[in-house]
Amino acid sequence: MSNRRDFIKTAGLASLGASIWGCTANNGTPDAYSLDHIRESSLKQHRQTFNMCGYAAPKIDTVRIACIGVGARGTVTLRRIRHIANIDIKAVCDVRTSHAEGGKKLLEGVFSPDVYTGVDDWKKICERNDIDLVYINTPWDMHVPMALFAMEHGKHVAVEVPAAQTVDECWQLVETSERTRMHCMMLENCCYGFFEMLTINMARQGFFGDLIHVEGAYIHDNFNSLFNKDGRWDLWRLKANRRTGNLYPTHGIGPVCQALGVNRGDKLDYLVSLSSADFSFEPKLKELAATDPDFKQFLNDSFRGNLNTTSIRTTKGRSMMIQHDFSSPRPYSRIHLISGTKGTAQEYPLPGRIALGHEWMTEDEIKEIEAQYTPEIIKHVGKMYSEVGEQDHGDYMSMIVNWRLIDCLRNGLPLDQDVYDAALWSVIIPLSVWSVANKSAPIDIPDFTCGKWQTNKEFDLTLNGGGTTKII
Ligand SMILES: NC(=O)c1ccc[n+]([C@@H]2O[C@H](COP(=O)([O-])OP(=O)(O)OC[C@H]3O[C@@H](n4cnc5c(N)ncnc54)[C@H](O)[C@@H]3O)[C@@H](O)[C@H]2O)c1
């Protein structure tokens, strides 16, 4: 796929070569993005060398962090995490000097990070011996090379969503994390939505009975941001939309997988995926290219269809529907529906609703349920984050995902989302691309736990052994 090769080159990542990508995408075949390779790599057998699910790394009293990528998300990340006690931000890195310097300025009076602006400087950061956690906020294609290099150099990794783009990359994350025993957590903030956490806990306590069907989505009309040349670096997200499938599955699938106990009691078996045609990119690009030559390069490209719908069956026979639409004028929705033999919950359209039969419960009845089932982590952090203010936390779910990661690292606790979740929730991207291109044919979903899903324990919702990190 030539656009990906150009991207790797311009991003200065070409030097990583085949050893990092585990394929030879930038110097020949097989191309990890090709349909044939997606199918072949999805069938490959792997062996687990160490189980990172439930793994507790040695405690780190003060977590020393390097932030790579200080764009839109990276900037809000810095604003947010500076409120977490017992961290030290040692380095900020962005190829756009003004962004890297801006990141340092944001932290003035709290931390004095070193600033890096070279295209390969993230490697120098990973090679430092005074950093515990590398936090990656860069464009999608850079996540895996950076995460692998960081783990190889003894650093835990926190990576923005989605963690990976190809099946090979997903396995590389898993195998490197197992071999190095470094955590690789994808920061799926939506798992910490209040309604999501509430319903995950309710599902675990049997409120819904046997779970039958779940739905999740990322339906967000953020189309115009894809064409903002002054915003996202190098129009990377527009370029990434040249694949057709579910390119952003993790906000939708993460919470419902947690509700079903996927990777911990159940596993995703196979998927089928269908995309509508593109009704928005082509006209928009024609309009822009008429006055702006920067957009002419896209006129011969085909783009993702507006809406992708992916259906998944789990090994225990539950069904799942995951949607993605970033380009149609629709109200925001992550759906978040859980349906069982006794009851149902559905978050969107807001407000979230719960039913034990044909009728949705009243507001008062839902308040009672919330009092009974809201997990400890939400009660604990919910109070703390509200003192930070929206301007700094960006969204409360991200505040919680950051706080929880640091608290787990400080207290030597296993992570709520491990490398197997990062790989599984991300692998929907290449597999949906393959299925869409093959008239919605089914494709098996790799078991990144190599069978351990049968015995892996649920992650902890109680805050046992943790909860000691303050928000300041
Ligand atoms: N979890 C969420 O809710 C959420 C929300 C928004 C974005 N994101 C994720 O955050 C990530 C970043 O998205 P964004 O919107 O901030 O994009 P962005 O373009 O605004 O930021 C990316 C930054 O990476 C920098 N960069 C590029 N090459 C680099 C290199 N070699 N070394 C260091 N820095 C480099 C760019 O200069 C840019 O500032 C994406 O993975 C996206 O999916 C997640």
Q: In this predicted model, what pLDDT tens digit does every residue of 137-161 receive, in sequence order?
A: 999 999 999 999 999 999 999 999 9
Number of neighbours of residue 414 by Cβ within 10 angstroms: 17
Query: Could you identify the atom of ligand 1 that is nearest to the CA of residue 143?
Result: 41
Q: In this predicted model, what pLDDT tens digit does every residue of 82-91 receive, in sequence order?
A: 999 999 999 9
Among 15, 73, 124, residue to substitute to test ligand 1 (most atoms within 8 Å of Cβ): 73
71-80, 178-187, 377-386, 445-454: least confidently modelled range: 377-386
Query: Could you identify the atom of ligand 1 that is nearest to the CA of residue 100?
Result: 39
Query: Could you identify the atom of ligand 1 that is nearest to the CA of residue 96?
Result: 37
pLDDT above 70 (res 13): no
Residue where the block lists tokens 């944001």: 106
Between the CA atoms of 424, 426, 428 and 431, what dihedral angle is there, to the nearest 10 degrees?
-100
Q: In this predicted model, what pLDDT tens digit does every residue of 178-187 receive, in sequence order?
A: 999 999 999 9
Q: In this predicted model, what pLDDT tens digit does every residue of 306-340 receive, in sequence order?
A: 999 999 999 999 999 999 999 999 999 999 999 99
In this structure, what token pair is assigned to residue 34? 């090709």
Helices 419-437 + 167-180 axis angle, to 10: 170
Q: In this predicted model, what pLDDT tens digit does every residue of 240-277 receive, in sequence order?
A: 999 999 999 999 999 999 999 999 999 999 999 999 99
Among 121, 137, 425, 429, residue to substitute to test ligand 1 (most atoms within 8 Å of Cβ): 137
Q: How far is the CA of 248 from the centre of ligand 1 (A)?
A: 14
Q: How far is the CA of 111 from the centre of ligand 1 (A)?
A: 22
E strands of 19-127, at which residues? 63-68, 87-93, 114-116
pLDDT above 70 (res 104): yes
Domains of the chain, CATH where assigned = 63-188 (3.40.50.720), 190-382+419-454 (3.30.360.10)
Q: In this predicted model, what pLDDT tens digit does every residue of 20-76 receive, in sequence order?
A: 323 333 333 468 899 999 999 999 999 999 999 999 999 999 999 999 999 999 999
**Measured on CA atoms in the order 418, 421, 328, 435, is the torsion positive or negative?**
positive
With bands split at pLDDT 50, 70 and 90, how would you rate the model's confidence at 9?
A: very low
Among 9, 117, 160, residue to substitute to test ligand 1 (most atoms within 8 Å of Cβ): 160
Q: Are 434 and 443 in contact (CB under 8 A)?
A: yes
Question: What residues have CB less than 8 Å from 177, skipping those under 6 apart?
Answer: 52, 151, 183, 184, 418, 419
**Average pLDDT value over all residues in the chain:** 93
Instruction: Name all residues whose Cβ lies below 6 A of ligand 1.
Output: 11-12, 68-74, 93-96, 99, 119, 122, 137-140, 160-161, 189, 232-233, 236
